[in-house]
Structure 1
Amino acid sequence: MSLKTLDNALEILKFFTDETPAWGVRELAKELNVSHSIVHRVLATYEKHGFLAQNQVTKKYVLGIKFWEYGQLVQKRLKLIDAIRPIMHRLCEDTGESVILTILEGIEAVDIEIVESPQKVKYELTVGNRAPLYVGASSKVLMAYLPEEKRAEVIEQGLSPYTDNTIVDPNKLIVDLDNIKKQGWCYSRGEYFEDTFGISIPLFNKDREIVASLSIAGPSYRMPEEKVQEALHMLEKRGKEIQNYLSQIEVHQLFQ
């Protein structure tokens, strides 16, 4: 199928609205100024795959069960974020630091929800920020739980330094990732941005596949090493609450 054919097929779906939920082949072809045989083939293909259904009396097409199924997935994702957000706010209150929910997308880390610290000096990011998996706590804790071939794929893309503390030696990085996986959490200082810290824990789906990380982050001076364990305890406590939601869902990419 060419991109133009796909564009035309998707354009047809835009005509199924609250005002006009049902369409016959000829009336839709007239509206689109397209041959009715072309419209019929497209509608029949959609029907075959469950995206449209044909009323056997009127012969008109309406949206099918597949859209309802996908709608349920979207609704579940939105409800999931709504459930997680209050927990992130409580973690922010616990620690006084910014809280970040990061997902694994391919071989990148994407921040999809952020609760900023109320303090004047704080770690600031924007939703949608992307980072490589080898740098910073929220990313490295994701990479640590990837299969070896996925780790290798990240390394083959190249390891560029963001700061003097970024690990760019592949062997050192692998050792670091193995240690992160063994202990079950990650602590980093100044790897992605200078003078910042991050503490992160992994989050899994029902199949125990890594899908996300939960992190706290802020200026390094507020998190000396002697305070890390206390902060980690608060992070793990809230992380368990979030994990309870994720463990009930049987999809591989929970937030996409």
Structure 2
Amino acid sequence: MNETDRSMLGRVFRLLECFSVARVRMTQSELSRRTGLPLPTVHRLCTQLVTNGALERATDGRYQIGVRLWELGALAPRAHGLRQIAMPYLEDLYEATHENVQLIVRDGLEALYIERLSGRAAVTVVGRAGGRLPLHASSGGLVLLAHGGGELLDAVLEAGLERFTPNTITSEHRLRQVLDDIRRRGFVVCREHLNLGTLAVAAPVQRPSGEVVAAISVVIGADVDPAPLIPALRAAARGISRGLTTEESSTE
């Protein structure tokens, strides 16, 4: 255990990181087992976190993430400011497609989905708003990886290319080819890379400097021709990029 984990802040983060989509609510005993922290320590931390709104205690005694954490997280400039600029374009893209429309940023070696618009008739997808997916296996992740530099690619390759379907990119040679193609064409089409039956198209969002800071994607059925979507997707990405340019100019 390193010094950070021994600190109060380190223990708090270890506890909060136990929660996931698969584990939305947890008891103190479960948190103790997963963190390796003594039950009295978990009890004390949970009490303090509930008092400050970071956790909430359900009627069955289990704990869940509190609204205060969501409120604070929504203030993150990389998510909040970008989301505000992107929403009108994402809404237009959704109205044009009535499919899953997503806004993605990179966090480490993962694609972090900070917004999704989805209709009841849209295909089922793996990702979710607030969820994470591997860079090499998701359309938005591949766009971010294509513009992330050599060190990022080396780190992704070193971590391993996990297979999700027969179409997931699992070889370095193919991955490098796809990334080169993304940089050349300005978009990517991923057919059944994450789950069977879906196809995703993604394009980059850029700052005035040319830095790619996000990606937007549309997920449709695998049997649908993606070609008609690509112009609308790229136009939305350019619109968001122009919005970032305007925002930066207004703050100078």
Mark yes or no: TM-score above 0.5.
yes
Q: Which residue of 2 aligns with 1:95?
A: 97
Instruction: Determine the C-alpha separation between the residues in 2 that align with 1:76 and 1:190.
Output: 29
Q: CA offsets, 1:206-249, max 9 Å, x none?
A: 3221211000002212x23xxx2221011112222111122345
Give RMSD over aligned pairs. Answer: 2.4
Q: Which residue of 2 aligns with 1:128?
A: 130
Q: Which residue of 2 aligns with 1:27?
A: none
Instruction: Determine the C-alpha separation between the residues in 2 that align with 1:237 and 1:115.
Output: 17
Letter in 1 for 2:93: L
Q: Does 1:220 align with 2:218?
A: no
Instruction: Determine the C-alpha separation between the residues in 2 that align with 1:159 and 1:74.
Output: 29
User: Runs of 4+ in structure 1 displaced over 6 angstroms?
Assistant: 2-7
Q: Does 1:245 align with 2:234?
A: no
Gaps in structure 2 of 5+ consecutive residues: 10-74
User: Aligned pair in 2 of structure 1 residues 118, 237: CA closer, same or farther (>3 Å)?
Assistant: farther
User: Aligned pair in 2 of structure 1 residues 5, 145: CA closer, same or farther (>3 Å)?
Assistant: closer
Is the Cα–Cα contact under 8 Å of residues 100 and 123 in structure 2 kept in the other structure?
A: no
Q: Which residue of 1 aligns with 2:231?
A: 233
* SS state at 2:129 partner: coil
Structure 1 position 74, deviation (Å): 5.0
User: Aligned pair in 2 of structure 1 residues 78, 133: CA closer, same or farther (>3 Å)?
Assistant: closer
User: Aligned pair in 2 of structure 1 residues 165, 124: CA closer, same or farther (>3 Å)?
Assistant: closer
* SS state at 2:228 partner: helix
Structure 1 position 96, deviation (Å): 2.1
Letter in 1 for 2:80: L
Letter in 1 for 2:207: N
Q: Does 1:155 align with 2:153?
A: no
Is the Cα–Cα contact under 8 Å of residues 126 and 194 in structure 2 kept in the other structure?
A: no
- Which structure is larger by alpha-carbon Rg, 1 or 2? 1
Q: Which residues in structure 2 correspond to 1:1-256 (within 5 Å)?
A: 78-119=80-121, 121-123=123-125, 125-221=127-223, 223-224=224-225, 228-249=226-247
Instruction: Determine the C-alpha separation between the residues in 1 that align with 2:81 and 2:187.
Output: 27
> What's the TM-score once normalised by structure 2's chain length?
0.64
Using the aligned pairs only, state the percent identity: 26
Structure 1 position 127, deviation (Å): 1.2
Structure 1 position 182, deviation (Å): 0.9
Is the Cα–Cα contact under 8 Å of residues 93 and 232 in structure 2 kept in the other structure?
A: yes
Is the Cα–Cα contact under 8 Å of residues 114 and 125 in structure 1 kept in the other structure?
A: no
How many residue pairs are counted as aligned between the two chains?
180
User: Aligned pair in 2 of structure 1 residues 207, 249: CA closer, same or farther (>3 Å)?
Assistant: farther
Instruction: Determine the C-alpha separation between the residues in 2 that align with 1:244 and 1:169.
Output: 35
User: Aligned pair in 2 of structure 1 residues 249, 158: CA closer, same or farther (>3 Å)?
Assistant: farther
Instruction: Determine the C-alpha separation between the residues in 1 that align with 2:109 and 2:193.
Output: 18
> What's the TM-score once normalised by structure 1's chain length?
0.63
Instruction: Determine the C-alpha separation between the residues in 2 that align with 1:242 and 1:84.
Output: 5
User: Aligned pair in 2 of structure 1 residues 234, 149: CA closer, same or farther (>3 Å)?
Assistant: same
Letter in 2 for 1:114: R
Instruction: Determine the C-alpha separation between the residues in 2 that align with 1:212 and 1:157.
Output: 22
Instruction: Determine the C-alpha separation between the residues in 2 that align with 1:216 and 1:190.
Output: 13
Instruction: Determine the C-alpha separation between the residues in 1 that align with 2:86 and 2:135.
Output: 23
* SS state at 2:113 partner: strand
Q: Which residue of 2 aligns with 1:41?
A: none
Gaps in structure 1 of 5+ consecutive residues: 8-72, 251-256
User: Aligned pair in 2 of structure 1 residues 121, 132: CA closer, same or farther (>3 Å)?
Assistant: closer
Is the Cα–Cα contact under 8 Å of residues 165 and 195 in structure 2 kept in the other structure?
A: yes
